[in-house]
């Protein structure tokens, strides 16, 4: 049995592109939640820094995550937000308790 994979994706929008990036991130939710292996895909916005967005994700396997990372809707998001994002980090984390 494969252990689910948890990810934290942090996206920081440029100050003048917050609403644009937010709209593009929201477009990812519905198609991603329909993907094989998607257990959880929740978007959050920082209360004190509205330019900071965080996805909390859980995937059934690394292979299914890789499929997501190569999906057409994620590719379109990257193209649409080029130049609008200051920083992007993706952390794979493991639940230990």
In this predicted model, what pLDDT tens digit does every residue of 51-84 receive, in sequence order? 999 999 999 999 999 999 999 999 999 999 999 9
Please compute, for residue 4, the number of CA atoms within 13 A of its CA located in the half-sphere on the CB side: 13
Residue-wise pLDDT for 2-42, tens only, equals 678 999 999 999 999 999 999 999 999 999 999 999 999 99
How confident is the model at residue 2, as a pLDDT? 67
Q: In 3D, which of 87, 89, 90 has the Cα closest to residue 17?
A: 87
Burial of 91 (0-12, 13-18, 19+ CB in 10 A): exposed
The reported pTM is 0.93
pLDDT of residue 91: 96
């Amino acid at each position: 049995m494969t252990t689910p994979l948890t990810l934290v994706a942090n996206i920081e929008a440029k100050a003048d592109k917050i609403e644009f990036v937010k709209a593009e991130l929201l477009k990812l939710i519905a198609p991603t939640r329909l993907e094989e292996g998607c257990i959880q895909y929740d978007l959050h916005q920082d209360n004190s820094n509205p330019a900071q967005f965080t996805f909390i994700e859980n995937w059934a396997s690394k292979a299914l995550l890789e499929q997501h990372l190569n999906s057409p809707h994620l590719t379109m998001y990257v193209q649409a937000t080029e130049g609008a994002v200051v920083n992007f980090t993706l952390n794979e984390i493991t639940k230990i308790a």
